[in-house]
Structure formats: structure tokens, C-alpha cells
């Protein structure tokens, strides 16, 4: 399950956090804990637990990567779909 499918209703909040417009752990601590649990549970990150700021930054980097890099690509796109953009 992907981040965007699991947290569909919270995407705007996650985008704001990834863009450093808000601090997710302050603005919505329950969502932050859920997202953190998701990444750890999926085995995508290992958090030290010793430095909360470092752990937060790791989670924000993961969110940003998932929202920007993985979700913008259309795996079903063909070259003909881009012909109008030349």
C-alpha cells in the first residue's frame, strides 16, 4: 500500500509538512504517529529513537520523496500522450 492510498484524505496536510509549511508533529501529532508507524512497519526506515528531530527529518524526507517523485510519474503514459506538449 502506498502513502497516497493509505493517507488519501490527509494528502494536503502531508504536502504542507513536506514543503516545510507546517510541522506535522505539532500541527497533527496523531497523523505524524500514524505516518511514522507506516514507514517503520513497511520496513522503509529505521529510526533511532534517540534524536526525535533526526527521526522527524527522516520521515519528512520519505514523505517528500513519496509525494513528489513516486506519485508524479505515470507508469501507463506513452510518448503519444506528450505530443501536445512539444
In angstroms, the CA 77 to CA 55 distance is 35
List the Cα angle 30/31/32 in 5-degree steps. 90
How confident is the model at residue 48, as a pLDDT? 86
Q: Nearest 5°: phi and psi at 2?
A: -90, 165
Q: Is 86 exposed, middle or buried (0-12, 13-18, 19+ CB in 10 A)?
A: exposed
How confident is the model at residue 75, as a pLDDT? 55
- Cα-based torsion angle of the residue sequence 73, 64, 48, 54 in order, rounded to the nearest 10 degrees: 150
Per-residue pLDDT of the chain (86 residues; tens, 9 = 90+): 788 889 999 999 999 999 999 999 999 999 999 999 999 999 899 998 899 999 999 999 999 999 876 544 555 555 555 555 54
Eight-class DSSP state of 79: G
How confident is the model at residue 10, as a pLDDT? 94
How confident is the model at residue 2, as a pLDDT? 84
How confident is the model at residue 79, as a pLDDT? 52
Closest C-alpha among 72, 73, 69, 66 to residue 2 = 66
Amino acid at each position: 500500500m502506498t502513502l497516497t492510498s493509505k493517507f488519501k484524505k490527509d494528502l494536503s496536510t502531508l504536502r504542507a509538512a513536506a514543503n516545510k509549511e507546517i510541522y506535522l508533529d505539532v500541527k497533527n501529532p496523531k497523523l505524524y504517529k500514524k505516518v511514522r508507524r507506516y514507514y517503520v512497519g513497511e520496513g522503509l526506515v529505521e529510526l533511532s529513537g534517540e534524536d526525535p528531530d533526526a527521526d522527524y527529518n527522516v520521515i519528512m524526507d520519505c514523505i517528500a520523496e513519496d509525494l513528489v517523485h513516486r506519485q508524479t510519474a505515470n507508469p501507463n503514459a506513452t510518448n503519444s500522450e506528450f505530443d501536445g506538449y512539444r
